[in-house]
Structure 1
Amino acid sequence: MERYSRRTQVLAHDRHRRELLVVVSGCLEISSMSANGRKYVNALLGPGQVAPLVRLLEDVPLAYDYHAHEDSVIVHLPSDAVIAVLDAEPVLWRDVAKLGLQRQRLSIVLLQNQMLNSIHGRVAATLMSLVHFYGGQGPGTAEDAGGPLVRLSQNDLAAMLGLSRQTINKELGRLVEEGAIDMRYKRIRIVDADRLARIAAGT
């Protein structure tokens, strides 16, 4: 178990070491950087989430970087030890398969939104995924008296969607006007999840 300060690289020492990361508290950012310095955020994982599942396979290089999105506690599990436990209780592999399929479905939905949805719908869909695909306890989310809070800056959301911060600011403002969300400093509160879902679906 290791403690990481915000923005600290989690797999800094040995990227070839096969291990799984379990988020105990805080938030794990999965991202990559292009040759020209452009950042892409693939996912934000909160408490209870495990990554990267691909490390259960042999000789599969890491495609992303892993950083603490905020002050976090992460457990490092050697992949070989995890595989030994799974092999000893083969029924547990079913849960691994279910998690992998859920994440594949999320990836397909997000890709479809990127290709077919409007910018407004893409922003709404991304906020929905942060709350619903991780049960409100995942990537930087927490329950608030007025609804789920997503701990996410506009820069982070822009990096997830490949959009400018100015565009994100405009679209979030529209969602506030439509009564779907409320905004605070680096916090987005989901006020009306049903309305946000309709916007995400383009209806």
Structure 2
Amino acid sequence: MENTLVRLTISQSELFANWPDAAISRLVKAADAITVEENTVIHRTGEVPTYLYLLATGSMHLIRKMPSGRDFTAGIHLAGEFHGIGPVITRSLHFYTAECREKTVLVRISGELLREMISHDGSLAYSLMGAMVNRHRGALDRYEGAAVLSTRARVATLLNSIYTRSARGGRVSSINLSQEEIATMLGTRRQVVNRVLREMESEGAVQVLYGRIVISDIGKLEKMAEHSE
């Protein structure tokens, strides 16, 4: 059962889209799946990377402590996504603390094995680079949105993006982000996010609960995300 999960998670990851069957089989043989409980820290900022992680189920929050002492939530990885490819390949220290806020199943692939396979066949790096470019493009979209979109549209865009990614992983419509985390991800204040979310709730797009947001009407949320200032 575990080997099947590992194979499916690896073979369906965009990181390995162009990898031949023999290379995939080698990864599957060497990888393992671990189940972690809620609030488990996978690694901390500044630690040496050991594994590439693929999320089979659950989610992972990326957090960094700011000089002010405030936690900055940079993003969230969901089922079907990956974590740690940059630090593993470049052998650089982890920039964020990775924490699973819910029960999560992770497939771990040895960073040493990945580097060895890529060094022997450079073509294996193509899909890895493609996946990293796609992630970078998403970050640029969020940066551009901060300049041209209203706070309401930015909140709606963030929630819609997480909902869409969750749906691909077969998850329900609940988004495990607090208002404080949404505010830090968007570079605004929690009070502003609270006001926007309450407006969205009154219009039937979302339901605001403690520590999470439930999407009530994805169609309404998508329309809110389309409107700029």
Decide: shared fold, TM above 0.5. yes
Q: Is 2:47 aligned against 1:15? A: yes
**1:155 CA drift (Å):** 2.9
Distance 1:135 1:10 in 2: 21
**1:129 CA drift (Å):** 1.6
Q: Is 2:219 aligned against 1:188? A: no
From the two aligned structures, give the one with the greater helix fraction: 2
Q: Which moved more, 1:84-93 or 1:121-130?
A: 84-93
Runs of at least 5 residues in structure 1 that lack an aligned partner in the other structure: none
Q: Which moved more, 1:41-50 or 1:159-168?
A: 159-168
Tell me the C-alpha RMSD between the 2 structures. 2.7
Which of these residues, 129, 142, 163, is aligned with residue 171 of structure 2?
142
Cα 1:3–1:115 shift into 2, 3 Å: same
Identify the residue that residue 200 of structure 2 maps to in structure 1.
175
Q: Which moved more, 1:70-79 or 1:110-119?
A: 70-79
Q: Which amino acid aligns with 1:142?
A: R
Tell whether the 8 Å contact from 1:40 to 1:162 is kept in structure 2 after alignment.
no
Distance 1:58 1:90 in 2: 15
Cα 1:137–1:41 shift into 2, 3 Å: farther
Distance 1:171 1:35 in 2: 28
**1:185 CA drift (Å):** 4.1
**1:171 CA drift (Å):** 0.8
Q: Which moved more, 1:90-99 or 1:105-114?
A: 90-99
Identity level (%): 21
Which of these residues, 50, 55, 67, is aligned with residue 82 of structure 2?
50
Which of these residues, 25, 34, 40, is aligned with residue 66 of structure 2?
34
Identify the residue that residue 126 of structure 1 maps to in structure 2.
158
Q: Which moved more, 1:86-95 or 1:41-50?
A: 86-95
TM-score (ref. length: structure 1):
0.81
Larger radius of gyration: 2
Runs of at least 5 residues in structure 2 that lack an aligned partner in the other structure: 1-32
TM-score (ref. length: structure 2):
0.73
